A = this chain, B = another copy of it.
């Protein structure tokens, strides 16, 4: 397979397909077994540190030779797969990492086989992405003219939403001539909003100084302060462009009041974007948590992630825009070689390359479609509600503990624990290394805390107790 056949044009073709499909199939079946065993035993497989020589093991040479595909499958199963991020384990609460789904293997297998490019054209994969986007818009409560595009995640979606808002406000002139001639743009978000907002402002040429940090009131964006900021900026000749409301803050899991934010946006005539990276999914949770995103359907744009609380394998997010035509106006620009035709493969509506930056786009939509089709809305809603109950339980355990405090109220699925002794980073690291539990860390009111973000469908109430007990033991060791 790796010899000099290239010099013989009559021998060309099929060079990169297996010479022996039965052999290849056997290897793939063995790999499938290894994958399923890993998932079926997810409870026993926490994060483990990669070996020190992993880089050397994996190095690819400038003249890398070929080898048997089955051997490479064995390398992947034996030398790579064990060293995953660990977010498939039931006591992984680090950052906001989704747990994944077994049916995701099926979807990604089909996607890799089809090898579809969802930049555009008329084929079935496009219909799947349109179906998924329609469903997301329905869950959000957006109107029928809403549309959007799947992305790698909320960070990309934020960039797209901000671009849409900018073009909606300033027209095609901003695409043609840039932002230099505009009044200084201002974007408003509560203190502690995700850095994806300031990174998007940097990328789009406004600079992070265009972000106005609105104070919190009871952990949510203070809408009176927001109104005052906008009024002051208008008076100063600035251009208020967008309010970013957060549904599920990264540090504390708090939710801005979307109806209040929407009222301000309407009064001021500016765009309301909701960063709902994980909080989006409270829309399908039980009433106490669903209420956290009441008003979401009033947003002009929404960013959310399916690899978080919807548990699809990494990566998949979405940018949803209330008036889909607005997103298209921000990005459509087809060169000659991409002009559509009425018929054939070059036909079809809603080419996604017109709704964002990407021209080549993989088939992310299928894993979302398969997840929703398999589990249904109610099962996801129940798992999400359970996570919120588990967070409340962890909070109660913390309040009853002599070794740690609850650093801030539990609103949804995020719990911040302040140890009475020891360094939170060292405690987190010790628990990660022992395989008992993965907490990440963050600062609350200046103090480094253990942070649990529970978006894990494998977690049980027992896991919550075990994780707190393990943390207490580590704290006691430092206190002793």
Contacts and interface: CB of A to CB of B under 8 A. Distances in A.
A107 interface: yes
Contact of A65 (B5, B17, B376): B376
B13 A459 contact: yes
A40 B66 contact: no
A86 interface: yes
Contact of A374 (B66, B116, B194, B383): B66
A29 B359 CA distance: 33
A124 B83 contact: yes
A270 interface: no
A363 B85 CA distance: 11
Nearest to A196: B359
Given A131-B60, A132-B60, A346 B16 contact: no
Given A127-B55, A156-B357, A441-B339, A209 B373 contact: no
A438 interface: yes
Contacts of A426: 341
The list of the 9 closest CB pairs from A to B, nearest first, reads A205-B205, A6-B382, A83-B124, A66-B376, A344-B429, A178-B207, A100-B115, A13-B460, A315-B362
A72 to B, nearest CB: 5
Interface string A359-372: 11111001101101
A239 to B, nearest CB: 12
B358 A152 contact: yes
Contacts of A27: 106
Given A17-B40, A17-B102, A87-B115, 7 more contacts: A13-B463, A50-B123, A54-B127, A64-B135, A83-B125, A112-B313, A344-B433
B49 A122 contact: yes
A101 B81 CA distance: 20
Interface in A183-241: 184, 194-196, 198-210
Contacts of A58: 127-128, 131, 369
A81 B100 contact: no
A103 to B, nearest CB: 5
Nearest to A123: B85
Nearest to A38: B113
Contacts of A366: 76, 80
Interface in A46-93: 47, 49-50, 54-55, 58-69, 72-73, 75-77, 80-88, 90
Interface stretch (A169-177, A258-266, A320-328, A395-403): A169-177
A111 B108 contact: yes
B314 A64 contact: no
